Amino acid sequence: MQELSIRERILKFIDTLPATVCVKAYGSSIAYQSGYKANEKKQVDLIVVVDDIKKFYEENLIKNKYMYKLTPKIYFKHASVEGLKKGAGICYTTDINYGIDTYKMGVIEKKDVLDDLLNWKTFYIAGRFQKEMFTAKVDEDIEKANEINKKNALTIALLLLDEDKMTLNGLYEQICSLSYMGDSRKNFKAEDPNKIKKLASGSKDHFDTEYKDKTNLFTVDKKENIKIDYDKLYEMIKFLPDELKERIKEKIKDKNIKDSKEEIKEVIEDYLTTIIRSSSLGQTKKGILTTGPKNSLTYAFSKLKKGRKKS
């Protein structure tokens, strides 16, 4: 009997869950990253979108008891909706063993996904959705919002891109790096320092399709050097999320926008670093309750060990 592919196994897993709106898988189990051994077991990272996060956990605690240790079981049973949404609006459960795979499952409401994709409230979902993912269950509203999210990601990546990195690979690394600005895991070296390069190179075909082939903001030569059309790029600022757009306007005020590249970069970096740091720390604190103290520490130490080993 032929072994099921990882994507087929993910579809089987989500069939065991209560009602979902959209499910996406991300990470090294889906998008190729260099540095992994061929037979190395990879965690499957899932974002499960639902209409009602409290209802989902009430039903899943009955339907799939095996997923929860004692502390998370108590937390999910008694937590308020506000408590579940602290941080970035998403709750993770780690170390879910199903079949031959181990899952890390994040649950979030659809309205919070749309808010982050369109407004970059926390950038927690927006940043992940800008990279390669496997969509196991589609929601058209989310897909449309993500197209806007990716267009805005391309705009700010081009605005941030240094002169010595004007290549397709440099651009893709810049897009990948956006969600790590201010991430608390980097401060503690709990991420592979080469992860951004691995993500960009491993997902090149995806980035070509989603970014290069859908824009007229730059041209590419045979050596994959890019030339940015700054007139068109600066026009795209008006489509950015409102708060970021207003901060840029306030910073440059009456200056010529073409002479304000460094000021614009400063605003973008400060904005993303601030919101990502806040949501990242909030999620880390909540993780002790949603995954349990033991699982939370085990997961943190494994990330730390892996990140420092790669260093």
Per residue in 229-252, pLDDT (tens digit) is 999 999 999 999 999 999 999 999
Q: Do the beta carbons of residue 86 and residue 95 sit within 8 Å?
A: no
Structure tokens given for 102 = 């181990």
Q: pTM above the 0.95 mark?
A: no
pLDDT value of residue 287: 77
Q: Do the beta carbons of residue 106 and residue 135 sit within 8 Å?
A: no
Per residue in 72-112, pLDDT (tens digit) is 899 999 999 999 998 899 999 999 999 999 999 999 999 99
Q: Over 50: is that where the pLDDT of 140 sits?
A: yes
pLDDT value of residue 293: 63
Vertex 135: Cα angle to 132 and 141 (nearest 5): 105
Q: How far apart are CA 247 and CA 185, in angstroms?
A: 27
pLDDT band at 311 (very low <50, low <70, confident <90, very high): very low
Domain boundaries, the chain: 6-310
pLDDT value of residue 194: 81
- More confident of the two residues 229 and 182: 229
Q: Over 90: is that where the pLDDT of 187 sits?
A: no
User: Which of 47-56, 81-90, 287-296 is least confident?
Assistant: 287-296
